[in-house]
Amino acid sequence: MKSKAFIARHGLLALFAALTLAACAPARPEPAAAPVVEAAQAPPAFEQLEVITAKGPVSFKVTVADDEAERAQGLMYRSVLDEHEGMLFDFGRVQPVAFWMKNTLIPLDMIFIGADGRIVNIAANTTPHSLQPVPSAAPVLAVLEIGGGLSEEFGIRPGDRVTHRIFQRG
């Protein structure tokens, strides 16, 4: 008959051996995580906007950024903007504004627009990723961002008139 000390010692050795083998055994693969399914984003709601130039009207389809979150996001991370597409930043009241191009991947023309729909100034071909402020020349109600160089191509100039529902508020 074996002594209790012998059994205890060999029992501990067996336990140690089992733990050592478990530690050296190849790890079981983790079960694959369930794929993350993001909520489908609704396509942007486009609105028509027109700029009346000396060369004639130019139409754009724009998304309207009329709250803080939308204005903060703007066109950041967009790598492409169609020729007649843009974003209209509606500030809801006339004020001096300035933009920067942080996290903006493409050059843009920023068209600063007064409450009457008249273009105050244009910052053409702004530099992607720049932290340099791009200010309005006077207080404005809105800013239209379009692809860089399009203002010149379409003949859009300060003093031209922009027609959109936000300039018809009373």
pLDDT (tens digit per residue) in 80-106: 999 999 999 999 999 999 999 999 999
Query: 31 pLDDT band (50/70/90 cuts)?
Result: very low
Query: 41 pLDDT band (50/70/90 cuts)?
Result: low
pLDDT at 22 exceeding the cut of 50? no
Q: Evaluate whether 77 touches 103 at the Cβ level (below 8 Å).
A: yes
Using alpha carbons, list the distances in angstroms from residue 146 to 21, 37, 46, 51, 62. 65, 32, 14, 12, 9
Domain ranges of the chain: 47-168
Query: 40 pLDDT band (50/70/90 cuts)?
Result: low
Q: Indicate the fold that domain 47-168 takes in CATH.
A: Jelly Rolls (2.60.120)
pLDDT at 21 exceeding the cut of 80? no
Q: Evaluate whether 116 touches 163 at the Cβ level (below 8 Å).
A: no
pLDDT at 12 exceeding the cut of 70? no
Reported as type and span, the H/E element at residue 151 is helix 150-154
Model pLDDT, residue 70: 85
Using alpha carbons, list the distances in angstroms from residue 100 to 79, 123, 151. 17, 11, 18
Q: What are phi and psi of 65, to 5 degrees?
A: -100, 100
- What tokens does 161 get? 């008139």
